[in-house]
Amino acid sequence: MEDTATNWSNSDENDVETCIFCLIANKKDENTKIIKETKDLVCFSDIFPCAPHHYLVIPRQHILSCLSLHKGHIDLVERMAKLGKDVLHDQGITDMTDIRLGFHQLPFISVGHLHLHVLAPASQISKYMLYKFIPETNRFVTDDELVCFRDKKPGATHHYLVIPRMHISNCKTLKMDNIPLVERMEQMGRHILEKNKVCSLDDVRLGFHLPPFSSVPHLHLHALAPASKMNLKSQLRYGQQSYWFITVDKVLSQLKTHGKVK
């Protein structure tokens, strides 16, 4: 796995050298104006604002994402939040109940450098981007290893994605030692369907798209229900006749038999 997968919890020297946020933090990017800074933090405007006030707070130290954080980072995160609120105050924002501060999780992390989104007024966040900034909207279920959220282009009444926090390119890169991971992904997919009151767990589709037909290069299990109600387009993409969709049962069978997905 190590030769094809990049762990979103770790980074290396190449990440730092090419990181745009590292350049901004070290004042090497002429196109970005720093609004406020401290010894170890920098704040600047988001280049694609989703609210009248939309800022990013980043640490000067290269931390890959919120998935890299641990207990020792609590003080850092608190200071990031404080700097974000200070900037809003400096910009004339007085209603601190109508703001939103937070981090994106996979697969919505746009830059591989920890950044806190600071938005105000939260009530005026663009309706087209609102789904990205409502707490818990996308993240239905999580554990230490997996994240589950709704597919933004659903192919059925219920359509969720289950992804591992660790970056794995696609189902073709899976090996025999990934069997427990795939089994847990299937379990979480069934759990979210059951949690959302899917009546028949026999009328579901759980599986992966085979490359090159996987839309995002990060392993994701599709969980759809009811399968019998999917339209023709969805049947072609996720149904039994689809040439590029492989069920989780077949993936597990091939991993157990061949040690890989054929």
Rounded distance between C-alpha atoms, residue 251 and residue 102, angstroms: 36
Amino acid (one-letter) located at 262? K
Any catalytic annotation for residue 115? yes
Assigned token pair, 81: 């939040």
Rounded distance between C-alpha atoms, residue 90 and residue 92, angstroms: 5
Burial zone of 155 (CB within 10 Å; 0-12 exposed, 13-18 middle, 19+ buried): buried
Q: Write down the catalytic residue from 115, 117, 209, 218.
A: 115
For residue 127, what is the DSSP state? Answer: T
Rounded distance between C-alpha atoms, residue 191 and residue 117, angstroms: 30
Continuous H helices in 4-115: 13-18, 20-25, 74-90
The residues carrying an active-site annotation are: 115
